[in-house]
Amino acid sequence: MSAESGAGRPKASRTQRSAAGSVAFAAGVLLVLATATLGAFAAVALLGRAVDPGPLSSLVPGEGQHALIVGGIAAGGLTGLMLPVILFGMVRGNEDTPRVGPVAAGRKVLAVLVFDVLLLLVSLLVAQLGRLLPQQITTVVAVFAVGFSWMPLAMVPWERFGLGEAFGKPRGPSASHQAQ
């Protein structure tokens, strides 16, 4: 917290969004939510077919199938959420948030797909607990394991590997203060 009073600082100008802008924003939010939901349903449907009579039936025990479903919901929901956001970033931009170029967008899509594979591998690993534990406990463990599987990735210092910009850099008025 700062000891300064706000009297000496200039007031930030607030721009009003037009009615058409509000409608476009609401339509964009609904589209992103719809694609996230449809992505989750699609991933669950594909994984259900791969597990029951499919190639993963010998790999996933019957008590661990819900763990794979949890991973499918996470992976499909994340992909359905991020793809329209990345595409919107390619066509929408201003001085504070420039457009995302095709190479950067491709890198972001690749990062989402790699993370999806990580989520599915974690859920497949947790599904193996179905050999030892009842289905309800395996499902609860899967929710926590898949839900928190991103934490090790958040602790990696990506800037050291030259990937700081690949995962986004701070934007907006506070970005110039952080860069100094």
Mean pLDDT, residues 107-124: 88
Instruction: Provide the residue type at 107 as one letter.
Output: R
Q: What percent of the chain has pLDDT over 90?
A: 0
pLDDT of residue 171: 47
Mean pLDDT, residues 117-126: 88
Contacts of 155-160 with CB under 8 Å at 24 or more apart are none
End-to-end Cα, the chain, rounded Å:
20
What digits encode the pLDDT tens for the residues 65-80? 888 888 888 888 888 8
- For residue 83, how far is the Cα from the chain centroid? 9
What digits encode the pLDDT tens for the residues 128-172? 888 888 888 888 888 888 888 878 777 777 777 666 655 555 444
pLDDT of residue 163: 63
